[in-house]
Structure 1
């Protein structure tokens, strides 16, 4: 057994990214917005996006104007994609149930799934208007039952991104702000004079957005600690190198630091995929970005067997895993660490990113080892309740609680149990007897 690298990444550092102290910059933005609210938000929006309108919040008239400015086909496509996302999210919600269990006579335990009250959704812009993120965050939150969703998205070249606004509105956003970057995340997290404080923030973004979410986590909930987009493709000798190359570049174009890995049992498939990628880059409109990513973070690895391929793929724990093998569903039995699986040549990551209905907010940087991606359940708080209706059961639990608590030296806990044991089983408990003898009227109440 062994691995053979046909191509390795040229660096483990983020390519072409200035060495700036992202953490310190973000902390400064957070501190200033906490202090001065909207004034600081406007300052940073003007600085980073050249955008400082009188109000960042769109009126209903402005939202309708943005929708009207979109081609009819775009609106129809948004609605079709959102129908897919909604159907899958609704199935997820239906899989989560409340229940009540009588674990012993007279003792009832229950579980409820309660939606978060107010959620902030960050919809990236900048290089690309990622209107699909509106479906994944806003619509999924609404299917979960979230009462109020605040959506923020940046301007693009100083203009309102009409299609993104349309997607946000049709997904069910209750408020839409044309506001981007870390300043949007911070404003939603801490609240300002015009932007309400939310309880939870979802949505991908650049390094500053991700760092803002990281620093604010705990004060608010977040979906994921997101890094650059990742793709890993497992292929055997039956895979088509042209399809592999096309799909690898579909994700490499996300940014100059997107890992793109091919693990294959066929050296011929691996070598041919490299050759085609190099050719396709010459005529790809986003080739200047995808090429940097492929050069710096692209890998092609030949392994001896599919068993070894599955094992190695799990070690990468990639965000997106495509499976181009004779029996792609074998991955369901042999892999466990991934954000999402895309099974077979007919299924590409781009479908998951844009149209198929599963959520595209997924774990990166090996986070798939401990979490899945954004889903309806992220917007729910699973809470529990309990009720003891039987006097006898309460007394028995009181005896058990007294013993268990004293084993941990928690005398106060033990006494809560003792009290029920005396009340409902007529136990004689020394400390209660002593208290009653003080003649303070407690005896009558007991």
Structure 2
């Protein structure tokens, strides 16, 4: 079976058999079938207590950065009520979803940063219940990841991964309550599970392979450019890494540095095929051309290593996140700086941004009419407008108000 068929079969099985199916697939795929996938409070405290103090300190620092930025995002979203006509009040509110699921990838690497991005952001939005899942790491509970999930504020922590975890969160089982929103990156199977379940549950993004694009002029350091390109190529063998530069000399130097750096990379088995099959270097005539070409790529991460990097803020519009100047880099965004690293890929930056507080909020409206004359006037207009569309029932809702709060004459006979 292909990825789509495999995922569909697991989802259908979890939908039908619940916990029993989840346990069977976890045992088959991850060799993991504990008495309970949920860690209780004592287990969490024991696991967190065994994590190195420096790791805990660093987790707290990074989560503080993520939380601070997310809180600023939340504060930027205003609620309002406006009187548009006498006695006609229209309002807007931002309500958090009741429950969110956070998927924190594991597999080959324990991606603690994904716990910060999903759980901290959901809690900053005001989500009451956050259920977090992460797979076992080579048959063991990943302690640093559990610490990150706990310190981020997860209400439930499950050692459970893959499609079975996503399906359990989205559909609910006997032991895992369903959620309203799913967030977090994952492999091709996790991404496909989110795609298939979208509609029954909200999701953050349809995520593809990590992408990096670097815009550089003659002032850029070619060694730094090469290191940054490879920093993202190590995510996987299908991760694109692209350089667009106005300097032929820099282009040549970057290519040479990459060839020298690759053999010594501990993650060469991913980075080398990524660069070989998906790496590109483009030389263009001007920075204006570079910005335009970068927008056509609409990549997840864009580094701007130029003499005046902030010009990209006005020149570009299609990207997941910008990293301006040599003193920052995509790895800062991935790991420490505070902006969210769950970002659009495969050209989705043309129409959406990444994960943020607003993804966990529902912007809802309310209406109230307290002035009889306004209600009567709106009823008359509603009746006429609805009949243009042949919606007689809608028209009559307007008619009865026009009559009750106006001249007392119904436009039709009951």
From the CA coordinates, give the structure whose radius of gyration is larger.
Answer: 1
Q: 1:413 aligns to what? A: 394
The C-alpha deviation readout for 1:9-57, integer Å capped at 9, x for no partner, is xxxxxxxxxxx61000000000111111111111111111111111111
> Match for residue 303 of structure 1?
284
Runs of 5+ consecutive residues of structure 2 not aligned to the other structure: none
Tell me if 1:117 matches 2:98: yes
**Is 2:173 aligned against 1:189?**
no
What are the ranges of 5 or more consecutive residues in structure 1 without an aligned counterpart?
1-19, 436-446
**Secondary structure, aligned partner of 2:213:** strand
Distance 2:158 2:63 in 1: 21
- Of 260, 263, 266, the match for 1:285: 266
Tell me by how many angstroms 1:238 deviates. Answer: 0.7
Contact 2:399 2:411 (C-alpha < 8 Å) held by counterparts: no
Q: In the alignment, does 2:149 pair up with 1:202?
A: no
2:370 is matched with which residue: 376, 384, 389? 389
1:39 aligns with 2:20: yes
What is the CA-CA distance between 1:429 and the residue it aligns to? 2.9
SS at 1:282's partner residue?
A: helix
Structure 1 residue 260: Cα displacement: 0.3
Matched ranges for 1:28-427 at <5 A: 28-426=9-407
**Matched residues in 1 for 2:355 and 2:89: separation?**
32
Query: After alignment, is 313-322 or 415-424 more displaced?
Result: 415-424
Match of 1:119, SS?
strand
Q: How many residues align?
A: 414
Q: CA deviation at 1:375?
A: 0.2
Deviates more, 1:284-293 or 1:204-213: 284-293
Offset of residue 324 of structure 1 = 0.5
Distance apart, 1:425 and its partner CA: 1.6
| Superposition deviation, residue 282 in structure 1 | 1.2
3-state SS of paired residue (1:227): coil
TM-aligned CA distance change 1:430 to 1:358, over 3 Å: closer
Q: Calculate the TM-score normalised by the size of structure 2.
A: 0.99
Please tell me whether the aligned partners of residues 383 and 398 of structure 2 are also in contact (alpha carbons under 8 angstroms). Answer: yes
User: 165-174 vs 406-415, which deviates more?
Assistant: 406-415
Deviations 1:30-89 (A, max 9, x none): 011111111111111111111111111111111111111110000000000000000000
Paired with 1:416 and 1:286, the residues of 2 have a C-alpha distance of: 66
On the 8 A contact 2:343/2:354 being kept in 1, the answer is yes
- Distance between the aligned counterparts of 1:36 and 1:405, measured in 2? 47
CA displacement at 1:415 relative to structure 2: 1.0
Distance 1:151 1:421 in 2: 52
Quote the offset at 1:368 in angstroms: 0.4
Q: Distance in 1 between matches of 2:325 and 2:237?
A: 27
- Once residues 67 and 397 of structure 1 are traced to their aligned partners in structure 2, the CA distance between those partners, rounded to angstroms, is 61
Provide the rounded CA distance (Å) in 2 between the counterparts of 1:65 and 1:300: 49
* Cα-Cα RMSD: 0.8
Q: How big is the shift at 1:303?
A: 0.6
- How far, CA to CA, are the matches of 1:43 and 1:278 in structure 2? 45
Q: Distance in 1 between matches of 2:157 and 2:406?
A: 60
Secondary structure of the residue aligned to 1:261 is: strand
Partners of 2:149 and 2:51 in 1: CA distance: 13
Cα distance in 1 for residues equivalent to 2:364 and 2:270: 45
CA distance in structure 1 between the partners assigned to 2:408 and 2:243 by the alignment: 70
User: What is the CA distance between 1:427 and its match in structure 2?
Assistant: 5.2
1:174-211 CA distance string (max 9 Å, x none): 00000011110001111111111111100000000000
Question: Partners in 1 of 2:29 and 2:62 — Cα distance?
Answer: 31
